[in-house]
Structure 1
């Protein structure tokens, strides 16, 4: 297909996106397209993206790919991928067009349902998007949702090949802690998208990246559930914001949630889903990373297991906050010295996960 590069629509780290206008309409009618281009020497990621889009071509909620081409422009060889043009811009653009940057709940429901259909199809074919955010959700001329930008996508269960992968505001706890990025990471990002559509603000209110990553990965804090949502909407968001990825709801399960299902089953073979939280059905059995250990000594922990002796500040190392973290060395020393503890007193007991 012969085409002419039009105005610039956007850019990323290695690629730019322009309008692509067919040079001639003879022999058929060609749609207005977008072309994503990068230098040939840096084209491995874009080549991979094109191959993934070819596999996802049958999903109406995923942006279509019309092919690839090479061109020489300003003395440089470029690799180009021709894509469906989204007339409605991005979901971020849609929020900007509202005076208070909030979408009506009916529109939040509609966009979320379409987004989840696309994500379910992506996961069904064995991929993880890895960068779900408002800027990567496009809208067609009819308002239909299109998942785009698969530059960071990977096979589920595959090695990410890098450290942090994605956009910090939408990263899941398991990504921050251990680099783990499976289908549940996309679901966490869906929760962030829904919260942002409902409030007009990012799910996390934090301008410092290091502080943001600490809040995401350490402890039990999750983003605040938007108070403006209905009870069904609040419950939906809570299913996405579950710290343990194995307890987080899947796209398939969420498509049957009352918030977006309209009382109709998404798929005949979907297992019946109880509206009790998955986290009530299982217990987190281990810390997610070494930095998780200090919260064992938190005064807010529930009382279920081994006692923690009370130590003076001189015998313990301090940890940022209003509590002391007692090192294993100190605890073992006291046990070896036959220090006697009153095991019937549970005031200082903490949860061992």
Structure 2
């Protein structure tokens, strides 16, 4: 496959991600892709990611891979992997840009359901992701609604299935999401991904990291020593609290598996219906602060002498302020001037 590199949309320690378009359009490749590239001297992790993605290609909850290639650009030899383009970016950005408002619980349930399906497929095929976190879950548009897919398999590995401690004491992943058994003995099996999932779900709810600790040494001590677990959000439903509790069991042998969690009521009753974010029901017929009729959008102070009677002062309307209390708006309607019902061209058709 021949392709043209576009602008850079992300980068890591060794690899950068760019937009790319195939030169010859065909049904085998999408019109827009993301290409992950690095120098050939540092491509071991990226080669590992491409091989794993090819094995996991049948799961819709995992980012797609379209193959690899070698290029020479600006005198440097690059190894490239063509990936499915996630136009919505990372889930971490959605949480960060939520304006201080947490994601709705139904959104969290829906995303968690999809991530669990992906994790179940990964574990079922004998792999551990080793770096489950908000930054490695991407948003794609699926039928007009965003869906999530697990990405970044550069640290993924084959599971041993033994549950034994790693003699090399090899630690992979991000400290904030690490499981106790990983910190204590370098053990990273499927249960470690589930602990990280609990951290991810908690962060979706609160918008904050699960551990309030910036020092890496102290953080690892907090995770690995003692019985302390991350705080479970109090504003979560009882089902949600129980779900996270099943992820935060210190003993990995008692921690629930992805398959078990998929049957938990927090995710198996999730609603996939379209929802309006932060929609508040009106308390009375005048409690629609952002509503404007089709006609009112065309009204200006110059064209209507009654403008100030209906909408208040000119500067308030032009600033877009919707802060007039319902009682004030009702009072503005109660005037001694009788309406002229014969003038029909100013009526608003509502039915």
TM-score (norm 1): 0.72
| DSSP 3-state at the match of 2:141 | coil
Counterpart selection for 1:235 from 242, 256, 259:
242
Task: Give the equivalent residue in structure 2 for 1:251.
Answer: 258
Counterpart selection for 2:155 from 152, 156, 159:
152
Q: Residues 160 and 181 of structure 1 are in contact (CA less than 8 Å); yes or no, is this contact kept in structure 2?
A: no
Q: Flag structure 2 segments of 5+ consecutive residues without an equivalent.
A: 272-351
Q: 1:57 to 1:207 in 2, by over 3 A?
A: same
Residue 187 of structure 2 is aligned to residue 173 of structure 1: no
Moved over 4 A (4+): 26-29, 158-162
Counterparts of 2:188 and 2:123 in 1: how far apart (Å)?
A: 12
Counterparts of 2:139 and 2:168 in 1: how far apart (Å)?
A: 31
Task: Give the equivalent residue in structure 1 for 2:74.
Answer: 74
> Structure 1 residue 122: deviation in Å?
0.2
Determine which structure has more spread, i.e. the larger CA radius of gyration: 2
Counterparts of 2:243 and 2:28 in 1: how far apart (Å)?
A: 46
Counterparts of 1:139 and 1:202 in 2: how far apart (Å)?
A: 20
Task: Give the equivalent residue in structure 2 for 1:4.
Answer: 4
CA-based RMSD of the aligned residues comes to: 1.8
> Structure 1 residue 161: deviation in Å?
6.2
Residue 187 of structure 2 is aligned to residue 184 of structure 1: no
Q: 1:179 to 1:116 in 2, by over 3 A?
A: same
| DSSP 3-state at the match of 1:245 | coil
Counterparts of 2:25 and 2:82 in 1: how far apart (Å)?
A: 16
| DSSP 3-state at the match of 1:17 | strand
> Structure 1 residue 27: deviation in Å?
8.4
Q: 1:21 to 1:162 in 2, by over 3 A?
A: farther
Deviations 1:68-115, CA, capped at 9 Å, x for gaps: 000001111110000000011111111123111511101000000000
TM-score (norm 2): 0.72
Q: 1:178 to 1:205 in 2, by over 3 A?
A: same
Counterparts of 2:167 and 2:268 in 1: how far apart (Å)?
A: 33
Q: Residues 67 and 81 of structure 1 are in contact (CA less than 8 Å); yes or no, is this contact kept in structure 2?
A: yes
Q: Flag structure 1 segments of 5+ consecutive residues without an equivalent.
A: 265-353
Deviations 1:93-140, CA, capped at 9 Å, x for gaps: 111231115111010000000000000000000000000000000011
| 1:94-243 alignment runs, 5 A limit | 94-142=94-142, 143-157=146-160, 163-243=170-250
Counterparts of 1:252 and 1:110 in 2: how far apart (Å)?
A: 16
Counterparts of 1:238 and 1:28 in 2: how far apart (Å)?
A: 43
Counterparts of 1:167 and 1:82 in 2: how far apart (Å)?
A: 25
Counting matched residue pairs gives: 264
Q: Residues 8 and 18 of structure 1 are in contact (CA less than 8 Å); yes or no, is this contact kept in structure 2?
A: yes
> Structure 1 residue 202: deviation in Å?
0.9
